[in-house]
Structure 1
Amino acid sequence: MSGGNVIQNWLKTIRLFFQTGSYLIVGGKILKILIIAFVSKVIIQVGRNLIKRMFDKQISIIPHARIDERKNNTLKSLVQSIMTYVVYFIAILIILGELGVQTTSILATAGIGGLAIGFGAQNLVKDIITGFFILFEDQYAVGDFVTIGDISGTVMEIGLRVTKIRGFKGDINIIPNGQITRVTNFSRSNSLAIIDMNISYDTDVSEAVKIMEDTANKYAEGNQDIVEKPQVLGITEFGDSKITIRAIVRTLPLKHWGVERELRKLMKEAFNKNGIAMPLPVTVVIHNNKS
């Protein structure tokens, strides 16, 4: 009996909803909200494209200035981020107005700062302030290779709230600016290639050093990635079954990995050509036979 009454009440409510034309009012509000959301997305997309064109045109004036290009890309990312947040904020205010919320009185009485705190946005404020300091101090820019915490990669975007870093495997890491406390930037100064080669204890060390020097110097000739003459420092370690000889080469930023790989290959080939074999682990077993 009670179940039947509930159903009848629901049917009555639905009938009144359509008879009084309330569905037109509700449907109109939903349609307006959808239009506002759609228009906001369009404005953001068009705005981001216009900002990109403006900054790309600016950098085309000095196409060979890498530092200017990095800063240009960073500012472009920041302006796009600001524009996106502003459009979303305005759209939310308009939608709240359509729902009957008195946004003007809220802003007048609480203020934007109080509204942010009321929504628990302390972390957001921290992210934005840290983001401005990152840009003001020029800690890193778009295109730089950095390590932040345990994440290493190329800076793809610096926004008001987050920094986006692309890792070696193409993964995109999104880091809130407020969580960035330590940054290592590998793109601001020349890099150092370190090449360690191992030889056995019965190998002539002087001969091995000479081969490494000749190989490194020959490789450095005409190589634009190398900025200083290679150096063979000498013995850096006596291992259980090996002697380690180290060479270093100063390169342009981020070019040291390729130089290290190529020199290891060339030095190994030179060792093979001169009869110097790479040492193998040796285990000594002492058998005490008391009988």
Structure 2
Amino acid sequence: MFWSAALAADSTPRPTTLDDAQESATNAAGWVEENWSTWLNVGLRIALILVIAFVARHLVRRAITKLIERMNRTAQAVDGTALGGLLVNVERRRQRSAAIGSVLRSVASFMIMGSAGLMILSALKINLAPLLASAGVAGVAIGFGARNLVTDFLSGVFMILEDQYGVGDSIDAGVASGEVIEVGLRVTKLRGDNGEIWYVRNGEVKRIGNLSQGWATANVDVQVRADEDLDRVRAIITQVGVEMAKDEPWNERLWEPVEVLGLDAVYLDSMVVRVSARTMPGKALGVERELRWRIKKALEAAGIRLVGHPPEAALETAAGDPAAGMSAPSVLANPDSPQSQAASSIPPPAPAAAQPPVQK
């Protein structure tokens, strides 16, 4: 009982005197006075780092935006001309520029703000070695886990930067083919021939055949009778090409004069004349249809008839010997022939006759 009362008396808080409070205030003021310059220095460094980072980020992003706008103005200046056909249309150039600008702005922001964050941590006297080591290990783990995503992203970046294809192009990507309707950093959307939409991962594309860049070739086969005058046919087709090159809009879609290459095939009752023309990319099919239309009308007006493909299968069947598929008669079919008797199986031996028992 005595010890409990003593412990209770010792645990009661002692009244704080004025001298103790003054001493505590003096110590706190001295500590603040000793460290305020350090705090002010660190705060000013952090503020300066943030200001420089935001200003640099704004200037870099603005420079990238100006560059993209200049690229779009250049594309608009040549759109609708023959030079514009050699390059790309405005919509494709705009989307490609927007994608490149988005990637560049994201990379610039990440690098600038990341560097600013590391500098702020260094100003706060924080050891960055464990943090960088942990970030490296986490980066390796994420890289192994999301390697397909990283592959798709990097492939998409290089496809856009190298201008391998764009919106409106007809491409063959190996896994799918069709018209490009959207180009992304991870997935490319294609519109197939039957209207279906293909989502192709950029990392899965091993080869790309672009049918809409540079120039295209329109090829037309004209089949006439074998007794027609070839010089007259050539003259008529050449005149059709000259007249077509003067009309709208074929004067811009035809980049070279229509050329008669010569005979592509000769049959018993007909011959095929090959006609070719270099056109604007993506316009070869329309040029072929118009060229066939004009050539047919011109040849009919000149009294030259077009013929269809010869019935090659029927000709081959008629020319062949009907008995060619029948095998020659074999001597083995006659059972009385020596060959048939020699090839006959050996008969089994006759069973031995029973002998009478021997009597003793």
Q: Work out whether the TM-score is over 0.5.
A: yes
Residues 170 and 80 of structure 1, relative CA distance in 2, 3 Å threshold: farther
Q: After the TM superposition, which residues 172-183 of structure 1 pair with which residues of structure 2 at under 5 Å, given as runs?
A: 172-183=197-208
Q: Determine the C-alpha separation between the residues in 1 that align with 2:287 and 2:175.
A: 25
Q: After the TM superposition, which residues 1-291 of structure 1 pair with which residues of structure 2 at under 5 Å, given as runs?
A: 58=69, 61-62=73-74, 63-66=76-79, 67=88, 69=90, 70-77=92-99, 110-117=137-144, 119=145, 121-149=146-174, 151-222=176-247, 223-239=251-267, 241-280=269-308, 281=310, 283=314, 285=318
Contact 2:100 2:161 in 1 (8 A): no
Q: Whose RCO is larger (CA < 8 A, sep 6+)?
A: 1
Residues 287 and 112 of structure 1, relative CA distance in 2, 3 Å threshold: closer
**Could you give the per-residue CA deviations for residues 50-70 of structure 1, whole angstroms, max 9, x where no partner exists?**
xxxx89x94774534453732
* CA radius of gyration, larger in: 2
**Partner amino acid for 2:149?**
L
Residues 61 and 241 of structure 1, relative CA distance in 2, 3 Å threshold: same
Q: Determine the C-alpha separation between the residues in 2 that align with 1:150 and 1:265.
A: 35
Q: Please list every run of 5 or more consecutive structure 2 residues that lacks an aligned counterpart in the other structure.
A: 1-64, 80-87, 106-130, 322-360
**Could you give the per-residue CA deviations for residues 146-174 of structure 1, whole angstroms, max 9, x where no partner exists?**
22116333322222211112234432211
2:342 corresponds in structure 1 to: none
Residues 113 and 162 of structure 1, relative CA distance in 2, 3 Å threshold: farther
Q: Determine the C-alpha separation between the residues in 1 that align with 2:254 and 2:160.
A: 30
Residues 279 and 113 of structure 1, relative CA distance in 2, 3 Å threshold: same
Residues 113 and 68 of structure 1, relative CA distance in 2, 3 Å threshold: farther
**Partner amino acid for 1:165?**
L
Task: Indicate the larger mover: 251-260 or 204-213.
Answer: 204-213
Post-superposition offset of 1:125: 1.9
Contact 1:194 1:249 in 2 (8 A): yes
Q: Determine the C-alpha separation between the residues in 2 that align with 1:191 and 1:250.
A: 6
Q: Determine the C-alpha separation between the residues in 1 that align with 2:301 and 2:170.
A: 38
**Could you give the per-residue CA deviations for residues 41-93 of structure 1, whole angstroms, max 9, x where no partner exists?**
xxxxxxxxxxxxx89x947745344537323302435677999xxxxxxxxxx
**Partner amino acid for 2:138?**
G
Instruction: Output the aligned Cα RMSD.
Output: 3.4
Counterpart of 1:160 in 2: which secondary structure?
coil
Q: Determine the C-alpha separation between the residues in 1 that align with 2:268 and 2:175.
A: 32
Post-superposition offset of 1:132: 2.1
Residues 224 and 286 of structure 1, relative CA distance in 2, 3 Å threshold: closer
Counterpart of 1:228 in 2: which secondary structure?
coil
Counterpart of 1:198 in 2: which secondary structure?
strand
Contact 1:78 1:159 in 2 (8 A): no
**Partner amino acid for 1:162?**
V
Post-superposition offset of 1:198: 0.6
Contact 2:175 2:205 in 1 (8 A): no
Counterpart of 1:224 in 2: which secondary structure?
helix
Q: Determine the C-alpha separation between the residues in 1 that align with 2:175 and 2:300.
A: 39
Counterpart of 2:252 in 1: which secondary structure?
coil
Q: Determine the C-alpha separation between the residues in 2 that align with 1:74 and 1:239.
A: 51
Residues 188 and 109 of structure 1, relative CA distance in 2, 3 Å threshold: closer
What is the TM-score with the length of structure 1 in the denominator? 0.61
Q: Determine the C-alpha separation between the residues in 2 that align with 1:201 and 1:234.
A: 14
Q: Please list every run of 5 or more consecutive structure 1 residues that lacks an aligned counterpart in the other structure.
A: 1-53, 84-103
Once superposed, which parts of structure 1, at least 4 consecutive aligned residues long, lie more than 6 Å away?
78-83
**Partner amino acid for 1:71?**
R
Residues 78 and 241 of structure 1, relative CA distance in 2, 3 Å threshold: farther
**Partner amino acid for 2:93?**
K
Residues 268 and 215 of structure 1, relative CA distance in 2, 3 Å threshold: same
**Could you give the per-residue CA deviations for residues 16-46 of structure 1, whole angstroms, max 9, x where no partner exists?**
xxxxxxxxxxxxxxxxxxxxxxxxxxxxxxx
